[in-house]
């Protein structure tokens, strides 16, 4: 092989290699979906990145109870699952927890000029085999942050089973609300949440 032919061949491979690297870099995903099994929280969830854990007290029916949370952030959007361990395995305790959690989510949205919340009854499938259907509620509300004037939208599923109440939440801040393609990520997260 002549030197010129070898050089031309090497140069083509180098250009092709650089083009491939550019394509791979452009395709690097913001969303790195992964399944998390929380034995402590009693659920399986599909997160768009590695979640971090936190705990904080919440008011449930006049009682302060700890809520454990796992959350992952992609840009200005938070994907989180919160779990409250109830002190009684009764329909009344579960109903009070879901009402308090829903009110807390609306308050934590921190928005002014909030839209009327969309609330609909849904069924959440458990992580059991075969899955057990659990009645729940899905809520969506939009507003403008009182702190920084950015638009916010909260979409959440709430369900209670046994002595646990759950909330799977997507809190968007910024322009993702105007991107119809982002709905796929919200649906993927919410549909990937399954209590034990």
- Give the pLDDT confidence of 74-87 residue by residue, as tens digits: 988 999 999 999 99
Report the pLDDT value the prediction gives residue 42, as an integer from 0 to 100: 94
Q: Is the bond into 19 cis (omega within 30 degrees of 0)?
A: no
Other Cβ atoms less than 10 A from the Cβ of 118: the count is 11
Helix (H) or strand (E) holding 20: helix 3-26
How do residues 110-120 score in pLDDT, each as one tens digit?
Answer: 666 667 889 99
pTM: 0.81
pLDDT at 179 over 90: no
Overall average pLDDT of the 144-159 stretch: 87
- Torsion sign over Cα 121, 122, 123, 125: negative
Model confidence at 109, pLDDT cuts 50, 70, 90, reads: confident
The tens digit of pLDDT for each residue in 17-52 reads 434 333 333 344 589 999 999 998 999 999 999 999
What is the pLDDT at residue 1?
A: 56
Structure tokens at 161: 């089973």
Cis status, amide bond into 56, omega within 30 of 0: no
CB atoms within 10 A of CB 157: 20
């Amino acid at each position: 092989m002549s030197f010129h032919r070898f050089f031309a061949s090497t140069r083509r491979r180098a250009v092709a290699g650089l083009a491939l690297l550019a394509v791979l870099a452009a395709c690097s995903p913001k969303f790195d979906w992964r399944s998390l099994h929380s034995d402590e929280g009693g659920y399986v969830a599909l997160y768009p990145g590695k979640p971090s854990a936190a705990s904080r007290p919440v008011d449930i029916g006049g009682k302060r109870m700890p809520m454990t949370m796992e959350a992952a952030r992609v840009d200005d959007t938070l994907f989180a699952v919160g779990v409250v361990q109830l002190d009684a395995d009764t329909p009344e305790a579960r109903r009070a927890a879901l009402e308090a959690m829903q009110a807390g989510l609306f308050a934590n949205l921190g928005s002014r000029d909030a839209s009327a919340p969309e609330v609909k009854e849904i069924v959440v499938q458990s992580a059991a085999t075969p899955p057990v259907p659990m009645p729940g509620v899905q809520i969506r509300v939009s507003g403008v942050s009182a702190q920084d004037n950015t638009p916010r939208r909260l979409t959440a599923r709430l369900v209670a089973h046994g002595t646990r109440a759950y909330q799977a939440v997507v809190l968007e801040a910024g322009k993702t609300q105007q991107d119809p393609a982002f709905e796929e990520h919200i649906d993927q997260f919410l549909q990937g949440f399954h209590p034990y």
